[in-house]
C-alpha cells in the first residue's frame, strides 16, 4: 500500500512541475483509449478477416458510432476562419 501512495505522490508532483510529463500522460491515455475502442469495435462487429469489413453491412452500420467515438478521443477538425 505504501508503494501505491508513494507512486501517486510522485506522479502528482511530476504533473505539477513538468507540463511535458502531463502532456505525455494524456497522450498515453488517448492511445490506450483508442486501442480499446478499436478492439471493442472489432469484437462487436465480429471482424475476422478483411473480407468481413467489405462484405458485411453490420460493420458499416456500426462504423458511424465508432468514428464518432474516435473523434471524441482525438478531437474534431477545426476549420480556420477565412476573412472575406
Q: Which domain holds residue 7?
A: 2-74
Q: Which residue has the cell 477538425?
A: 77
Report the C-alpha gap between 67 and 75 in whole angstroms. 11
pLDDT tens figures, 31-57: 999 999 999 999 999 999 999 999 999
The residue with greater pLDDT, 25 or 54, is 54
Residue 61 in grid coordinates: 452500420
Average pLDDT, the chain: 89
Number of compact structural domains in the chain: 1
Considering the chain, what percentage of its residues have pLDDT values greater than 70?
95
Beta-carbon contacts of residue 18 (< 8 Å; ≥ 6 apart): none
**Residue 79 within any structural domain of the chain:** no
In a domain? residue 52: yes
**Inside any domain, residue 84:** no
Amino acid at each position: 500500500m505504501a508503494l501505491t501512495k508513494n507512486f501517486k505522490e510522485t506522479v502528482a508532483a511530476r504533473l505539477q512541475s513538468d507540463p511535458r510529463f502531463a502532456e505525455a500522460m494524456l497522450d498515453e491515455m488517448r492511445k490506450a483509449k483508442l486501442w480499446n475502442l478499436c478492439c471493442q469495435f472489432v469484437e462487436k462487429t465480429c471482424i475476422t478477416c478483411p473480407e468481413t469489413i467489405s462484405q458485411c453491412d453490420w460493420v458499416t452500420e456500426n462504423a458511424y458510432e465508432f468514428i464518432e467515438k474516435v473523434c471524441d478521443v482525438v478531437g474534431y477538425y477545426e476549420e480556420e476562419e477565412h476573412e472575406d
